[in-house]
């Protein structure tokens, strides 16, 4: 999947959605609050070494955070952490 800017130039950073990664070391993430339970509740956690995650959205407009899925739940992760803690897998 390749996304394009309105001007027609390709931005590879925007193409991260859909990419899968395996963690090569434990990596921090932030839970995304569920509206149904407690919209104010945000938790940090560490995803263990060896786990697989999928980027589902982002980064957008120069933001440094991506939305990821792990164990069928949604989290946010800094792109810097993703780059340092994981390797992309097919």
Residue whose entry in the numeric block shows the structure tokens 């959605």: 17
Number of domains in the chain: 1
Query: Quick check: is 83 in a domain?
Result: yes
pTM summary value: 0.73
Structural domain harbouring 84: 18-89
Count Cα atoms within 13 angstroms, Cβ side, for 74: 11
Query: Quick check: is 30 in a domain?
Result: yes
Q: What are the pLDDT digits (tens) for 18-57?
A: 899 999 999 999 987 765 666 667 788 999 999 999 999 8
Tokens representing residue 38 in the block: 């407690």
CA distance 78 to 80: 5
Tokens representing residue 50 in the block: 């060896």
Query: Quick check: is 13 in a domain?
Result: no
Query: Quick check: is 77 in a domain?
Result: yes
Query: Quick check: is 12 in a domain?
Result: no
Q: What CATH number did the domain enclosing 63 receive?
A: 2.30.30
Quote the pLDDT of residue 61: 65
């Amino acid at each position: 999947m390749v996304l394009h800017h309105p001007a027609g130039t390709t931005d590879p950073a925007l193409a991260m959605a859909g990419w899968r990664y395996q963690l090569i070391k434990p990596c921090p993430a932030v839970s995304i609050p569920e509206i149904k339970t407690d919209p104010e509740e945000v938790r940090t956690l560490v995803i263990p070494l060896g786990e697989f995650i999928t980027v589902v959205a982002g980064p957008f407009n120069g933001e440094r955070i991506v939305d990821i899925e792990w164990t069928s739940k949604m989290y946010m992760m800094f792109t810097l952490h993703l780059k340092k803690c994981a390797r992309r897998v097919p």
